[in-house]
Amino acid sequence: MPGEQATILIPDISGYTEFVSKTEIDHSTHILNHLLDTIVESVSEEYVVSEIEGDAVLLYRKGNPPDKKEIVKQCIKTFIDFHNQIQAMNSITLCQCGACKGMVGLTLKFVVHFGLISEIKVSRFVKASGLDMVIAHRLLKNNIDNHEYLLMTRNYLDNIPDADENIELSWDHSTEDYDSIGTVEFRFAPLEAIKKQLTAIPKKSTTVPYDNSKGLETEIGANYKDVFNALINLDWRKYYAAGLKEIEKEDSMTLLGKTHRCVFDDFKVDVEPMNIEVSEKEINYSEYNRVPEMNFYTVFHFTITDLGGNRCKYELHFYPEEGHVLTDNMRAFLFRTQGATISNLKAFAENGFQPLLTADA
C-alpha cells in the first residue's frame, strides 16, 4: 500500500519506567490507565490511535498538517487535562504506597512530526508504520534537558504557514543524530510555565465528630504504613474482616468520597472514606459506615501510630454521624465484631500480610 501524508503526534509520559519499577504494580497500572485515557479523550477525533506503548500514545492524522496554532492549542489542552487528572486523583487517594504518592511526579512531553505512513490492518486493529513513524518515536529520546516540552520537527514546520510564530510559548532550536536516519532538526518549547498556572486541588477533608467514647486498640508487629494500606486495601479485607462475605465496588482502589459496600450475612454496610491526615509518625483515617434500614449512621475513626522497631499502635473509635445516635446495643455489637476484626488484622499483618486464618466473628 502506498504511503499517505500524515501528522504524527506522540504524547509521552515521562518518569513511567521509574514509576513502575519502584512502585506497586497494581496501583501504578491503575493510575497510568486513567492518565492514558485522559490523554486519548483530550485529543481531537481527527487523530487516530495507532497504538499505546506503555507510557506513550502514538496518534496520527492523515492529510495536510494542521497549523502550528492548532497543534499548540491541542497539546496545551492535553497537557492541562493530564495534570488536572493527576491533581484530581491525588486529592482523593488514600493509599500511601510509592505509586500513589509518586504520581504527582509524572510529567508529559509531546513530539509532532509530518511525513508518510502506511496503515497495517490486523483484524479490527489499524496500526501506522513507516520511516516517519520511526523518526517520531526515536525523538522521544533526545538531548533536551527538560521533561515537559512540545517538540516540532523541521519536516512538520516546513509544511505549515505559521511555523515562525511563537504562539504562547518560547521556542529553541536543536538537532539530533540517529543511526540509519541521520540528522533530525526540530524546535521545542518548555511547558513549565503552563504547569505553574494550574491550580492545585486540595485533599478532600471532612470534620470528624470526636468525643470521649471508649475505643479499641492493640499493638501490631508491622510497619504502620503497611498496616494502613492493609486497612484500605479492599481485596485484602476478606482476610481479616469479621463476617465479611464480599465487597461490592466500582473502583479497584479505596478513594475519598467513593462508596463501596461490605456484604455480611444479615446486612450490608455502605462505606464512604471521608478524611485522612498523614504525619511523619501517624495516620488518622475516618470513614462513614451506613446501614439505612437499621438506622445505623456511624463514623469509624482509625489512628495508626509508629512505635518504632517495626511496631505500631492501632486504635479505632466509633462516633455517631451528625444528626444520628449510636445506641448502647449497637456500640456493644461494634466492640464485639470490630474486636474480632482487629485481632484478625493483627495476625494477618504479623504474618507478612499473608492469609493466616478465615475472618469470622
HEC string for 249-281: CCCCCCECCCCEEEECCCCEEEEEEEEEEECCC
Please give the model's pTM, rounded to 2 decimal places: 0.85
The predicted structure's pLDDT at residue 101: 83
The predicted structure's pLDDT at residue 357: 52
- Which residue reads 499548540 in cell numbers? 72
Helices 25-42 and 68-92, packing angle to 10 deg: 140
CB within 8 A of 286, min separation 6: which ones? 206, 208, 273, 274, 275, 276, 299, 300, 301, 302
Burial 22-48 (b: 16+ CB within 10 A, else e): ebbeebbebbbeebbebbeebbeeebb
For residues 168 and 197, which has the higher predicted lDDT (pLDDT)?
Answer: 197
**What percentage of residues in the chain have a pLDDT greater than 70?**
96
The predicted structure's pLDDT at residue 361: 42
pLDDT at 18 over 90: no
The predicted structure's pLDDT at residue 25: 76
Helices 328-350 and 224-232, packing angle to 10 deg: 120
The predicted structure's pLDDT at residue 360: 47
Average pLDDT, integer, range 119-136: 86
The predicted structure's pLDDT at residue 55: 87
Between 3.30.360.10, 3.40.50.1970, 3.30.70.1230, 3.40.50.170, what CATH number should domain 4-196 receive? 3.30.70.1230
**What percentage of residues in the chain have a pLDDT greater than 90?**
73
pLDDT at 335 over 60: yes
Give CA torsion, residues 211, 214, 219, 223, to 10 deg.
-20
For residues 282 and 25, which has the higher predicted lDDT (pLDDT)?
Answer: 282
The predicted structure's pLDDT at residue 165: 86
pLDDT at 1 over 80: no
Hey, where are the domains in the chain?
Answer: 4-196, 216-350
The predicted structure's pLDDT at residue 282: 97
The Cα angle at residue 306 between residues 302 and 311, in degrees rounded to 5:
105
Average pLDDT, integer, range 285-312: 96
Indicate the range of 106-110, 207-211, 309-313 predicted with least confidence. Answer: 207-211
Average pLDDT, integer, range 282-305: 96
Indicate the range of 98-102, 110-114, 182-186, 262-266 predicted with least confidence. Answer: 98-102
Contact between 180 and 85 (Cβ < 8 Å): no
Average pLDDT, integer, range 334-350: 96
Q: Which amino acid, one-letter code, is at 58? A: L
pLDDT at 108 over 60: yes
Calculate the CA 298 to chain-centre distance. Answer: 29
Contact between 104 and 86 (Cβ < 8 Å): yes
pLDDT at 24 over 90: no
Cell representation of residue 56: 506513550
Distance CA 110, CA 10 (A): 6
Average pLDDT of the chain, as a whole number: 91
pLDDT at 359 over 70: no
Contact between 149 and 110 (Cβ < 8 Å): yes
pLDDT tens for 188-235 read 999 999 999 998 888 877 888 888 889 999 999 999 999 999 999 988
- Partnered with residue 318 across adjacent β-strands are 300
Distance CA 355, CA 182 (A): 57
- pLDDT grade, residue 112 (50/70/90)? very high
**Number of residues written out for the chain:** 361
The Cα angle at residue 261 between residues 339 and 96, in degrees rounded to 5:
70
For residue 286, the SS3 value is strand
CATH architecture for residues 216-350: 2-Layer Sandwich (3.30)
The predicted structure's pLDDT at residue 61: 96
Indicate the range of 10-19, 194-203, 272-281, 311-320 predicted with least confidence. Answer: 10-19
The Cα angle at residue 260 between residues 257 and 261, in degrees rounded to 5:
140
Q: Give the dihedral sign, CA 215/218/219/223.
A: negative
Contact between 175 and 186 (Cβ < 8 Å): yes
CB within 8 A of 266, min separation 6: which ones? none
pLDDT at 88 over 60: yes
pLDDT at 121 over 50: yes
For residues 121 and 70, which has the higher predicted lDDT (pLDDT)?
Answer: 70
The Cα angle at residue 66 between residues 61 and 70, in degrees rounded to 5:
115
Spell out the alpha helix ranges (H) of the chain.
16-22, 25-42, 68-92, 98-102, 131-138, 154-157, 192-196, 224-232, 328-350
- pLDDT grade, residue 295 (50/70/90)? very high
